Structure formats: structure tokens, C-alpha cells
Amino acid sequence: MASVRPVAHTPTWPVRGFILGSIGLVFAIPIVAMVEFTLRRGLAGGHDFSRWTALFQGGFTGPYRTVLVALGNSVGLAMGTVAIMLLLLVPTLLLVHLRFPRLRRLMEFVCILPISIPAIVLVVGLAPVYSVLARVAGSGVWTLSFAYGVTVLPFAYRAIQANLDGVDVRTLSEAARTLGAGWGSVLVRVLIPNLRRGILAGAFIAVAVVLGEFTIASLLNRITLQTSLLVVSKADPYTAVILSLLALTFAFLLLLVIGRLGLVRTGRRRPTTGGQS
């Protein structure tokens, strides 16, 4: 009897190599081009590290110091946005899921809405709000995190809701309550650990969106990484590209750290050994 070949669930090595190679190229080409651009020696031709060494030997002084300040602003904004997401969105989603399931459609509509509004239109609406906010709470860069909280809403909502749908939140919370846990303990000890993946994915996206956002910051006259890079690029395009590369590396490392947090003790990869008993 002829042997039956197992159904292939994963692509073969050449196919995998081709797919990964193609995707890698899409990402690598612009980055390699940026690096090549920063190494050019100008009209004389050839390549060297003079622009990189000049930047680092100068210690980010002069106009480049603004970039460091702007980077600090952006990181602070990212943290603020993530905090707003965690403190506002996660409890609200849980409340709707557990107590007011009929509001879910409305919640989804409200959360998805910002993705359909162009940033420029959003700013037109936000400008009068921010003029009031400036009188009440000042016009510090941190106030941008409110606007960013709105812009990351669709992405964060999707990530957390997907996780929420995959966990029997109602039964877990009821089990915890019958075991003597108050709502605070239910949230901290049971729900958040089980929604960690969704929350981290939401935080991941929030950080990425905030670090890459330009339109709202520029139109509301706040200094962030993206707006400061634009200013530098007008004076020195080579240094602007170097700073962009550094920002890219920083964002990559930051997201890597956040991603690592999600891998802490899940126990999910252990082999299953239990049978029905």
C-alpha cells in the first residue's frame, strides 16, 4: 500500500527563505540607503564616517541638542499615552464586557472612529480644545498625550478586545470572587495577567504611533522627535538622516524591551502530558 504523505502545514525552506528574504529586502533597502547616504563625502565622492564622528564628538551640542530634548518629549508622550490607554481603555473595556455587554457595539464604534478621521481634521477639532486646555493646564508637551490617546484608540482597542474575546473573563472573575477576591484583586491578580498579551500589543502600537507621529505635533506647535528631525533636516540633511537612524534603533530597542516583558513566565510552551482521567 502506498504511503500517504503528510499534509504540509508549513512552507518548505526555499519558499520560507524567499518570503522572508523579500520582506527583509523591503525593510532593508531604505535603511541601507539611509546609511549609505550618511556615509557620502559630498561632491568629492567616496564614503567615510566623518559625519557620524562629527556628530558624536560634538556631543549633540548646538542645534542637535533639541533633538535629544525632543526625543525625551516623545518618550514621555509615549509613556503618557500608554498610561492613558491602560488606565482608561482597559477598565472601560472590562466594564463593558462584564457588566454592560450591550454597549459593546457602541464602544467599538467610538474606539474605531479616530482611524477614519484624518489627522489634519482631528487637529482642526482639537485646536479649540487645546486653547482651553492651555489656559487650564498650560501648554506643556505632555498635553499632547491626550490627543495621542485618541489616535491610538483604534489600534489599542483591537489588540485588547481580541485578547478579551479569547479569555473567559466572566468565569475567571466570578471564580476569583467566590475565592474571596475583591474587584481590585480580580483586576490585578486575574484579569490583567490574562490580558497581558493584548495590553502589551496595545502598548507596543501606542509607542510606535507616538514615536512616528508628526502632523498633530507640528500643527499644535509642540516639539517632538519627528518635528525636530524636520527642523534639523532643513539645516543639515545628512545629520537628520543619522538622527533618524538612531531614532529608529532606539524605537526598535524600546519595542524589543516591551516585547520581552510579554514573555515573562507564561508556561505556555511546556508539552501537554495530561490525558482524560
Partner 1 sequence: MIQNQLHNQNRLPARTPANPATTARAGAAVRFEGVVKDFAGHRALAHFDLTLHPGELVALLGPSGSGKTTALRVLAGLEATDAGSILIDGVDVGALPTSRRDLGMVFQSYSLFPHLSAGENVEFGLRMRKVRGEERRARAAAALALVGLDAHYDRFAHQLSGGQQQRVALARALVTEPRVLLLDEPLSALDAKVRVALREEIRRIQTELGITTLFVTHDQDEALAVADRVAVMRAGSIEQVGAPEELYTRPASPFIADFVGLSNQLIGRVLHGFAQVHGAKLPLLDPSQADGRVTVSVRPEDLELGREGAPGVVLSSSFHGSLRRTTVRLEDGSSLVVQHDVRLRPTVGDQVGVTFTGAPVSVDPIPAPI
Which one, 139 or 185, has the nearer CB to partner 1?
185
Residue 99, interface with partner 1 (CB under 8 A)?
no
Residues 6+ apart with CB under 8 A from 67: 60, 225, 228, 229, 232, 243
Residue 31 C-beta: closest distance to partner 1, Å: 37
Task: Give the one residue of 189, 235, 252, 261 binding partner 1; rule: CB under 8 A.
Answer: 189
* Of the candidate residues 136, 180, 221, 234, the single one contacting partner 1 (CB under 8 A): 180
Closest separation between CB of residue 93 and partner 1, Å? 18
Write each residue from 242 to 271 as x if it is in contact with partner 1 (CB under 8 A), else as -, in one continuous string: ------------------------xxx-xx
Judged by CB, which is closer to partner 1: 42, or 267? 267
Nearest residue (CB) to partner 1, 179 versus 235: 179
Q: Distance between alpha carbon 269 and the CA centroid of its chain, in Å?
A: 26
Least separation in angstroms between residue 178's CB and partner 1 is 4
Size of site (CB under 8 A) for partner 1: 30
Residue number, 234 or 265, with CB nearest to partner 1: 265
How would you write the chain as a 3-class SS string? CCCCCCCCCCCCHHHHHHHHHHHHHHHHHHHHHHHHHHHECHHHCCECCHHHHHHHHCCCCHHHHHHHHHHHHHHHHHHHHHHHHHHHHHHHHHHHHHCCHHHHHHHHHHHHHHHHCCHHHHHHHHHHHHHHHHHHHCCCHHHHHHHHHHHCHHHHHHHHHHHHHCCCHHHHHHHHHHCCCCHHHHHHHHHHHHCHHHHHHHHHHHHHHHHHCCHHHHHCCCCCHHHHHHHHHHHCHHHHHHHHHHHHHHHHHHHHHHHHHCCCCCCCCCCCCCCCC
Give the nearest distance from C-beta 89 to partner 1 in angstroms. 21
Which of 167, 187, 208, 245 contacts partner 1 by CB under 8 A? 167
Nearer Cβ to partner 1 (5/269) = 269
Q: Do residues 214 and 226 make contact, with C-beta atoms less than 8 angstroms apart? A: yes
Question: 83: closest CA among 30, 149, 141, 130?
Answer: 149
Question: Least distance in Å: CB of 97 to partner 1?
Answer: 16
Site for partner 1 (CB under 8 A): which residue of 26, 171, 221, 234?
Answer: 171
Of 117, 129, 175, 261, which lies in the binding site for partner 1, with binding defined by CB under 8 A? Answer: 175
Of positions 33, 113, 137, 179, contacts partner 1 by CB under 8 A? 179
Kindly state the smallest distance separating residue 166's Cβ from partner 1, in Å: 10
Applying CB under 8 A, the residues found at the interface with partner 1 are 167-168, 171-172, 174-182, 185, 189-190, 193-194, 196, 266-268, 270-277
